[in-house]
Structure 1
Amino acid sequence: MADWIQVIVQTLITVVVLFVLTRLMGKRQIIQLSLFEYITGITIGNLAAHMSLEMKEGYLGFISLLVWVAVILFIHFLQLKSKTARDWLDGKDTVLIKEGKVLEDNLKKERITIDELMSQLRKKNVFKLSDVEFAVMEPNGIIDVMLKKECLPLTPKMLGLKVAEEREPEIVIMDGSILDEALFRLGRNRRWLKEQLEKQGVQLENVFVGQVDSSGELYLDVYDDKLQLAKPQEKPALLATLKKCEADLEMFALSTEREDVKAMYGECAAKLEKVIDRLKPYLTT
């Protein structure tokens, strides 16, 4: 076999083996590297390059690679079973700011300058040290930040407001094609989708992507970026109709002279008001 053919074959085999072994080691190897995993990644890369070019003893590279993977899997097993092993291999988290006070000794321990700390805080949209209550460096080098209560953004829970529950949006149109499986998960069909497209005055083939949110509204992005689409008005219209019905009931109660009828209209208006209060979070989002 010619050398160039052997290199091609060994390279393709190496790619397949690396892919299988990486899947075997799990996603953690990709998204969260500890010190040991960083060293392992470099070593496996060197072994793979050697395996691709070695003509006579390429199989020895495969054996070495398998040994490395076996060691990695064993260490991962230890980390799952023992906190001591996790602390020794991955390291412990380090508190950098506590109760609003920067811990200079811990910065020196992790060899982090104040400029680097501020850079990491800015990545978390924090620009003032005085806003930080607590900051910790995780074993993977990421700095997590907890703001002081007065600096936290307002949430509906803080205001005592109820909001509609959100579920995962579904993409139902991609590159002008309907994704029937996504429609099925939403309990919708093509007829409903085509009606929504007609309301917004858009042809299916002109849609780059279409997504349905948890409230059932369809968002469209078309190929023509200059085209302005009509916004869905079903929820605002429904809320306005319910409020009009409530006002009509109150007006009927005021316009009648019969006490029993007045009480009936008033009771219905009160019940409808409660229904509107419960539905408002769903109709205003």
Structure 2
Amino acid sequence: MEILRSVGLTAAASAASILVLFLLTKLMGSKQVSQMTMFDYITGITIGSVAAEMATELEEPSKPLTALVIYGLAAVGISMLTSKSVRARSAVTGKPLVLLDNGVIDRDNLKKARMDLNEFLTFCRMSGYFDLSQVQTAVLEHNGVVSFLPKEPYRPTTPSDMDLKPKQSRVQIPFIMDGKLLPDNITQAGREDAWVRRALLKQGYRDESEVLLALWDGDAKLTVFPMRASRLPE
């Protein structure tokens, strides 16, 4: 009986820690790992550790819960401060460092970034630059990513270079997912369910149940992916 009670308390504490983590994450905002500052990274690890302790601390779960809330509020507070203050932003997130400019590698900034030449060359190759003479400027961003500005002869050609004026593309809107219509998306796009079904029939699909995903591009085109890989429109 005691074992069942312990298991029940652990399960309840785990569920509570997951709920608190979810609420704190929503409050703090979502960032990819590559977009995190050093402070974000450390805070995330600490909050995760405290949440794990909360799930197993059955005698006094209020202590790790309090620490969890304090860390979360501190992260939110610092995020708000950095969004309003340039000085605070520089102190917390740091400043970009120019590693290469106009054919000259800045050794001092490499030292500040704790980066050696081999690491710098690795970043260049990962971005497709095997010839440094093609790079005009390389900047180490605050999140650890190196951004590159190619020299003009080596940058990709754009339509404006060729005096072309292509039609502006639009974000595709999902109309069907997992065999089910998404009426809210369809209505917001100014279409109707009947229009979607007619578009499916034109491509050989009897109804939405045969469709895994259907995307509308803002024009008359409906891009359809079948539910089964072997299914081909008639």
* TM bucket, shorter chain: 0.7 to 0.9
Q: After superposition, what is the alpha-carbon deviation per residue over 1:119-138, rounded to whole angstroms, capped at 9, x for unaligned?
A: 32344333322221111111
Partner of 1:213: 217
Q: Return 129-138 or 107-116, whichever deviates more.
A: 107-116
Instruction: State the secondary structure of the residue aligned to 1:153.
Output: coil
Higher relative contact order (CA 8 A, sep 6+): 2
Q: Is structure 2 residue 110 aligned with structure 1 residue 107?
A: yes
Q: Return 89-98 or 195-204, whichever deviates more.
A: 195-204
TM-score (norm 2): 0.85
Instruction: State the secondary structure of the residue aligned to 1:158.
Output: helix
In structure 2, distance between residues paired with 1:190 and 1:5? 47
* Structure-2 change in CA distance of 1:57 and 1:214 (3 Å): same
In structure 1, distance between residues paired with 2:128 and 2:149? 12
Partner of 1:254: none
1:208–1:221 contact (8 Å) kept in structure 2: yes
Q: After superposition, what is the alpha-carbon deviation per residue over 1:73-99, rounded to whole angstroms, capped at 9, x for unaligned?
A: 332233123222211222111111212
Q: Return 138-147 or 35-44, whichever deviates more.
A: 35-44
* Structure-2 change in CA distance of 1:63 and 1:95 (3 Å): same
Q: What 5-or-longer segments of structure 2 have no aligned partner?
A: none
Q: Return 155-164 or 62-71, whichever deviates more.
A: 62-71
| 1:229 CA displacement | 4.8
* Structure-2 change in CA distance of 1:166 and 1:106 (3 Å): same
Letter in 2 for 1:150: P
Identity rate of aligned residues, in percent? 33
Partner of 1:21: 24
Q: After superposition, what is the alpha-carbon deviation per residue over 1:201-257, rounded to whole angstroms, capped at 9, x for unaligned?
A: 233333221212133212122234355558xxxxxxxxxxxxxxxxxxxxxxxxxxx
In structure 2, distance between residues paired with 1:119 and 1:93? 19
Q: Is structure 2 residue 36 aligned with structure 1 residue 33?
A: yes
CA RMSD of aligned residues (A): 2.4
Number of residue pairs matched? 230
* Structure-2 change in CA distance of 1:135 and 1:190 (3 Å): same
Q: What 5-or-longer segments of structure 1 have no aligned partner?
A: 231-285
2:174 corresponds to which of 171, 180, 193: 171
1:131–1:147 contact (8 Å) kept in structure 2: yes
Q: Return 98-107 or 137-146, whichever deviates more.
A: 98-107
In structure 1, distance between residues paired with 2:190 and 2:227? 27
Q: Which has the higher helix share?
A: 1
> Which has the greater radius of gyration?
1
Q: Is structure 2 residue 225 aligned with structure 1 residue 195?
A: no
In structure 1, distance between residues paired with 2:21 and 2:136? 44
1:76 corresponds to which of 61, 64, 79: 79
Q: Is structure 2 residue 91 aligned with structure 1 residue 88?
A: yes
In structure 2, distance between residues paired with 1:172 and 1:92? 43
Letter in 2 for 1:215: D
